[in-house]
Amino acid sequence: MLRIAVQKSGRLSDDSLALIRECGISFISSSLKLKTESTNFPLEILFLRDDDIPGYVADGVADIGIVGQNVLVEEGKQDLSVEELGFSKCRLSLAVPKSAEYNSVKDLEGKNIATSYPNLLQTYLQEQGVTAHIHTISGSVEIAPSIGLADAICDIVSSGSTLISNGLKEVERVFKSQAVLIANQNLSEEKKAILEKLLFRIHAVQRAQRAKYILLNAPNEKVDEIISLLPGAKSPSVLPLAQEGWSSIHSVVNEDDFWEMIERLRDAGAQGILVVPIEKMIL
Ligand code: PRT
Ligand code: ZN
């Protein structure tokens, strides 16, 4: 049995549980329960505050966990990280009042900066050769300048709308973050084997999320040109259509290159292009 710690309620919770479910692991979750056990995989899920997850995994109370890199690195536990999960992307940024004059990070010399991430901020300021007074506060960091508590803040940003609505402007990006899977470093052989199985499934889910299955029709004389436009397709399938002189081409493409490629395919004579999501992808 492997124990995973996930955030009980917050920005990481839904995506963490969705990932576990996409791995084909079933469980019943209730907001009242502190833990639950999967009915079809040797996994027990503990629901915790995100800040407690790195410590519990380091101590072996949980074997693995899902947490933001911002929390992990702030707590100095980055060695536990095993896999970037690609969700809950955000950044830790410095922000100052909109009206403040700001040219470079040197302008923060000697200033008061409020943050919930003193260690990440201190590391950044040191790298930049700036000395400032760091005030550690645990919440509502964005109101610190307007109540006269600080000249600047260092806080998590995703859309940027919280900064704007508090009259602040983002001036430096201190740290980029996303959710990561972490693991205790002394897992038993049995637990390691379960983790391997889980990672195999996570990789299949991640690959599938980035990939699309594409089907299209093309006149036979255009097939070679179209195949050359399909990036990453080592060997697309080419099947004859009932209509004489036409083929159907099937391949897997990466979502990132997708729209541009569709235009080039159409220009090259592709017709009836279908793009379908892939549920799992095993290499
Ligand atoms: O209760 P618990 O301690 O478990 O949760 P929490 O309140 O400490 O954390 P939570 O749920 O807010 O965030 C969990 C993790 O999600 C963080 O550690 C980050 O890794 C990640 N994450 C992603 C974010 C955001 N996006 C985010 N936007 N964490 C916080 N925010 C906050 C930010 O602090 C600011 O107040 O959202 C506001 C900014 O958002 P925008 O969109 O207005 O820029
Ligand atoms: Zn927290």
Q: Are 5 and 43 in contact (CB under 8 A)?
A: no
Mutate to test the pocket of ligand 1, among 74, 115, 158 (most ligand atoms within 8 A of CB): 158
Would residue 198 count as lying in a domain? no
Residue 18 lies in a domain: yes
Q: Which atom of ligand 1 lies at the shortest distance from residue 8's CA?
A: 4
Pocket test for ligand 1, best of 50, 154, 164, 168 (most atoms within 8 A of CB): 50
Helices (H), the chain: 13-22, 53-59, 69-74, 118-128, 161-165, 189-210, 223-229, 258-267
Cβ atoms of residues 270 and 247 within 8 Å: no
Q: How far apart are CA 27 and CA 21, in angstroms?
A: 8
Residues 165 and 147 in one domain: yes
Residue 233: the pLDDT is 56
Does the CB atom of residue 50 touch ligand 1 within 6 A? yes
**Structural domains of the chain, count:** 3
Confidence of residue 143 (pLDDT cuts 50, 70, 90): very high
Nearest CA to ligand 1 atom 32: 156
pLDDT at 254: 85
Per the structure, the complete domain to which residue 69 belongs is given by 2-88+179-187
- Same domain assignment for residues 103 and 76: no
Closest-CA residue, ligand 1 atom 42, reads: 159
Taken in order 162, 168, 169, 170, the sign of the CA dihedral is: negative
Position 136 scores a pLDDT of 98
| pLDDT tens digits for range 229-275 | 987 556 889 999 999 999 999 999 888 778 888 999 999 999 999 99
Q: 15 in ligand 1 pocket by Cβ < 6 Å?
A: no
Neighbours of 180 (CB within 10 A): 22
Neighbours of 199 (CB within 10 A): 16
**Which ligand 1 atom is nearest residue 69's CA?**
20
From 155, 187, 219, give the residue that closes a domain.
187
Q: Of 81, 33, 92, 35, nearest to 58 (Cα)?
A: 81
Decide which of 180 and 280 is more confident: 180
Q: What distance in angstroms lies between residue 65's CA and the mean position of ligand 1's atoms?
A: 17
Structure pTM?
A: 0.90
Give the whole-angstrom CA distance, residue 118 versus residue 122.
6
Q: Which ligand is closest in space to the CA of residue 71?
A: 1
56, 183: one domain: yes
Is pLDDT of 57 > 90?
yes
Question: Residue 257 maps to which CATH number?
Answer: 3.30.70.120
Q: Is the pLDDT of residue 194 over 70?
A: yes
Q: Do residue 251 and residue 183 come from a single domain?
A: no
Q: What is the pLDDT of residues 102-140, one digit of tens each?
A: 999 999 999 999 999 999 999 999 999 999 999 999 999
Residue 202: inside a domain? no
Mean pLDDT calculated for residue range 41-45: 98
